[in-house]
Each structure stands twice: as C-alpha cells, then as structure tokens.
Amino acid sequence: MSTPLLSAKNLRAFYGPTQILYDLNFDMHTGGITTLLGANGAGKTTTLRALSAMVRTSGEIRFDGKLISNKETADIVRLGVAHVPEGRGTFVRQTVEENLQLGGITQPASQISADVERVFTYFPRLKERFRQQAGTLSGGEQQMLAIGRALMLRPKVMLLDEPSFGLAPLIVQEMFEILRTLNKKEKVSMFLVEQNASLALELADHAYLLETGRVVMSGPAKQLSADESIRRAYLGY
C-alpha cells in the first residue's frame, strides 16, 4: 500500500485545558475524498483546525510522509494544504480580486493571472464581482470565493469545513458538483467536514464518524450510508 497523503496517529486536541479530541487515527489517500461526519460538538471543526495547527495538539500528523504536527500554520499551508475554514475566512474589506491574490500569495507572481482565470472557469460569478468588496457578496458567492481562494494555492488537499453551511439547497447541489469536478480535474484530494451527512456520503469515498471527540466508526462511504444506525441518526430515514 502507498503512503497515505494525510494521516493522523493518536491525535489529541485541546482548547486551553479542555481536551476536545481523543486519540484520533485516520488516513486518507491521494486523489480521494474523505468525509468526517458527526453531530454538533463532536469535534469535526477541531479536527480540521488540528490538521492546520490552529489548536494545541499532541500526537502525530503526517502529510505526504512528512511530519507536520510540529509546524506552524503558514508552513503547513505552503506544503499544499488549503483549509477553507468555518465561516469561510473571507477578507471582507478586500476586493474579490485581492482575496484571490491572497490565496496565491505564496505562489510565483507569474502564475497568478492564469490561476485567476482558472478559478473563473469554475466560478464565473466571481468574474462579475471581481472589483467588489468581498463583504458585499452573498453567502453562496462568498463560499465560491473561499474555494476559489483555496484553489489559487494549487493545493494537494483541501480541508473543507461545512461548505454547505447557510446556503440554499440549489446552491448546495451546485457547490458539491463543483467539488466533485475539482477532485477529478484538478486532482485535489479533499477532507470534508459536513453536517449534511447524505450529501457528504454521496460525494466521499471514505468516511469517519466522530462522536464526542472519538472515531466510533469508519469505512467506505457506501458502507456507512448503508449502515442502519447511521441512517437513523444522521441520514434521517
């Protein structure tokens, strides 16, 4: 078996003295989409924040075989880990253009304009809004901007925190279609945290179920969506 793209071993995370994650073990492979399911407060967002060193952790995180759990956020990002955070992390006072430029700020200046055009092919709406302040965009447009900004990094993996949050159902469908395309065409692996379990299981190939900071179940997404208890608790039928 090849080395996993991203893996965690005995990962614990803390907010101050409070422990949020208890010895998580997971790995995901290049090209895949892995989803992390769980109820509110299960520790999904914290897991993503742990991966990009935004909370205090112990344990081992490896990316591309390299140990990254001792690195700072900015250095992890520079390895090709694009984190699209909860609440989208838009630079609201900056324009759409500047937000995209910031997404590629660690990349050579020469590739920026071509990469902006590439983002436009997925999100043509951003082209119309190019000179607008990002804070004036609608929720859906801001989510597009957040993913577009992440693309500017030419990432190997995207950590996506609730991309469906606060969006109209139609927009959510559209967004997940785009994510699928990005995974296939841009070869971006994805680690997806989602409240909307049925959507997430549809998109992902592998899934982990988190309960109060522990992995309680894992397996191929198909297998989890067929599981009786998951269906009752998270899919609602």
Partner 1 sequence: MEQVVQQIIGGLATGAIYACIALSIVMIYQAIDHLNFAQGEMAMFSTYIAWQLMQWGAPYWGAFFITIAISFVLGYVIERTVFKPVHNAPVLSHIVIFIALFAIINSMAGFIWEFTIKPFPTPFGTKSVLGEGLLSAHGAGMIAVTGVMLGMLYLFFRYTRVGLAMRAASANPDSARLVGIRVGFMNALGWGMAAAIGAVAGMMIAPVVFLEPNMMVTILLYGFAGAVVGGLTSPGGAVFGGFAVGVIENLASFVPHFGAEMKLSIALALIILVLTLKPSGLFGRRIVSRV
Site residues, partner 1 (CB under 8 A): 52, 54, 72-74, 77-78, 82-83, 85, 89-94, 98, 101-103, 105-106, 109, 149, 153
From the CB of 146, what's the least distance to partner 1, in Å?
9
Give the nearer residue to partner 1 in terms of CB position, either 102 or 216: 102
From the CB of 188, what's the least distance to partner 1, in Å?
16
Q: How close are the terminal C-alpha atoms of the chain, in Å?
A: 36
Give the nearer residue to partner 1 in terms of CB position, either 92 or 168: 92
The whole-angstrom separation of Cα 80 and Cα 227 is 34
Of residues 180, 194, 203, 206, the one with CA closest to residue 234? 194
Give the nearer residue to partner 1 in terms of CB position, either 73 or 136: 73
From the CB of 86, what's the least distance to partner 1, in Å?
11
Give the nearer residue to partner 1 in terms of CB position, either 106 or 121: 106
From the CB of 201, what's the least distance to partner 1, in Å?
26
Give the nearer residue to partner 1 in terms of CB position, either 105 or 178: 105
From the CB of 91, what's the least distance to partner 1, in Å?
6
Give the nearer residue to partner 1 in terms of CB position, either 37 or 152: 152
From the CB of 127, what's the least distance to partner 1, in Å?
20
